[in-house]
A and B are shown apart, each in its own frame.
Chain A
């Protein structure tokens, strides 16, 4: 299990990195490498060149402001998870990140890298999608923002062009009167989830004005279902739009069952969270 040969470049400027990506059709970006390196070692991927962005300046930031959290391409999961400010601005980040593999992997793996790896079994692509965030990408052609809804093209496939480098992910702040929750069931602690469910619920007084649920590991792209009008039976609404697959760890029926167990729990928890935040903001 050793990688096939590849050319290697460790640019020190963004321009250099983008030029390299533009000049080499088969180049891949190496950031944390926690998903990429096993693929290389198993020879399931064999890029002609790796552009190692770990030497680039100013990409390891976690910037928080009232609008949301901006996470640079080199910010490790552990860094984001450790940010108290980020957890305040968007609590779902920490809730989900604590389920991303194990701490040792989180020390190296990057949140942006995980998102553009576009694994529907991973937590962060779904979270970005649920929160309606976006990713900023750069190439020699310039910079553009890809909304999460347009980011995921298929299994392990994003809509980034081969010469584009994801430089920053943006997770919108949790609005006032909104709440989030996350639960997942995995075979072993730290494994990819059999099913993971996150909810974002927005309230106005006692009324739930919007409720959306995101799912991990039930489809081949990160999927979000709007259950605003199905609060009595959110799982039924979700299952109408999901087509869980069977693998060696779970049958499709069991996955569907877990969706039906977790969805109402997570929606209820997010609703409670929204209400408790509302109470904190305006104590009666």
Chain B
């Protein structure tokens, strides 16, 4: 077999530029993980159903397993590694997950975090039903989603939303 043509691709990820040399078929998820070393984006199904690999492409949640790296040249990409605040502290969404036990094994978590980050930008003060709708395309096998829904509301509250009162209970109980 003749050798496969490689493409020089410049990816803009989390404010940095990554120059990678990949074949056209290199999935963006693989390029991020294995070529850019950003292993926070996880691969759960590689057919676009589970949402673990969700990243933000120009601010919108997208499955990175359903894009090729060569197609991502003009895009501004954000992965879970790019959600943390500049000073290294957790973003409101990340903090909310910690507050509400919104994760267990952590494998699906990056896809939820990116999805919710974008979701709360579009709808900063979601109702409980809207919180559910926001995460309705991501699979989690550990949490039963109960605490992820709470995390969405809690993140909204941290960011200044009003519908996260239900979280008061969790905070109090923890003392």
B24 → A minimal CB distance (Å): 3
CB neighbours (8 Å) of B51 from chain A are: 102, 104
Q: Is B161 interfacial (CB 8 A cutoff)?
A: no
* Residue pair A5, B65 in contact (C-beta under 8 Å): no
CB neighbours (8 Å) of B63 from chain A are: 34, 104-105, 108
**A10→B70 CA distance, assembly (Å):** 9
* Residue pair A37, B137 in contact (C-beta under 8 Å): no
**A38→B63 CA distance, assembly (Å):** 11
* Residue pair B60, A34 in contact (C-beta under 8 Å): no
> Which of A2, A8, A30, A102 interacts with B27 by CB under 8 Å?
A2
Interface string of A30-66 (1 = CB under 8 A from B): 1001100110111000000010101100000000000
**A8→B74 CA distance, assembly (Å):** 16
* Residue pair B47, A34 in contact (C-beta under 8 Å): no
Q: Is A190 interfacial (CB 8 A cutoff)?
A: yes
Interface string of B2-19 (1 = CB under 8 A from A): 001101000000000000
* Residue pair B137, A102 in contact (C-beta under 8 Å): yes
**Chain B interfacial positions (CB closer than 8 Å to A):** 4-5, 7, 23-25, 27, 30, 46-48, 51, 54, 57, 60-63, 65-68, 70-71, 73-74, 115, 136-138
Q: List 15 A-B contacts (CB under 8 A).
A: A2-B30, A5-B24, A5-B25, A30-B71, A33-B67, A37-B48, A37-B66, A38-B46, A50-B68, A78-B60, A103-B136, A104-B54, A104-B137, A105-B48, A107-B60
Residue of A nearest to B132 (CB): A189
Residue of A nearest to B51 (CB): A104
Q: Is A240 interfacial (CB 8 A cutoff)?
A: no
> Which of B23, B30, B67, B136 interacts with A108 by CB under 8 Å?
B67
Residue of A nearest to B55 (CB): A104
A64 → B minimal CB distance (Å): 22
* Residue pair B5, A52 in contact (C-beta under 8 Å): no
Q: Is A3 interfacial (CB 8 A cutoff)?
A: yes
> Which of A4, A33, A54, A189 interacts with B66 by CB under 8 Å?
A33
* Residue pair A37, B65 in contact (C-beta under 8 Å): yes
* Residue pair B23, A5 in contact (C-beta under 8 Å): yes
* Residue pair A54, B71 in contact (C-beta under 8 Å): yes
CB neighbours (8 Å) of B68 from chain A are: 8, 30, 33, 37, 50, 52
Residues of A102-116 at the interface with B, using a CB-CB cut-off of 8 Å, are 102-105, 107-108
**A152→B137 CA distance, assembly (Å):** 29
CB neighbours (8 Å) of A34 from chain B are: 48, 63, 66
Q: A2-B25, A105-B137, A108-B62 are in contact. Are A8 and B70 (CB under 8 A)?
A: yes
**A42→B93 CA distance, assembly (Å):** 34
Q: Is A1 interfacial (CB 8 A cutoff)?
A: yes
**A107→B63 CA distance, assembly (Å):** 9
* Residue pair B47, A1 in contact (C-beta under 8 Å): yes
**A78→B48 CA distance, assembly (Å):** 17
* Residue pair A50, B24 in contact (C-beta under 8 Å): yes
* Residue pair A42, B54 in contact (C-beta under 8 Å): no
**A164→B23 CA distance, assembly (Å):** 26
> Which of A30, A38, A52 interacts with B47 by CB under 8 Å?
A38
CB neighbours (8 Å) of B137 from chain A are: 101-105, 190
CB neighbours (8 Å) of B24 from chain A are: 5-8, 50
* Residue pair B67, A37 in contact (C-beta under 8 Å): yes
CB neighbours (8 Å) of B136 from chain A are: 102-103, 189-190
**A223→B101 CA distance, assembly (Å):** 47
CB neighbours (8 Å) of A190 from chain B are: 136-137
A224 → B minimal CB distance (Å): 29
CB neighbours (8 Å) of A7 from chain B are: 5, 24
Q: A102-B137, A103-B137 are in contact. Are A41 and B27 (CB under 8 A)?
A: yes
Residue of B47, B71, B73, B115 with most partner-chain A CB within 10 A: B71
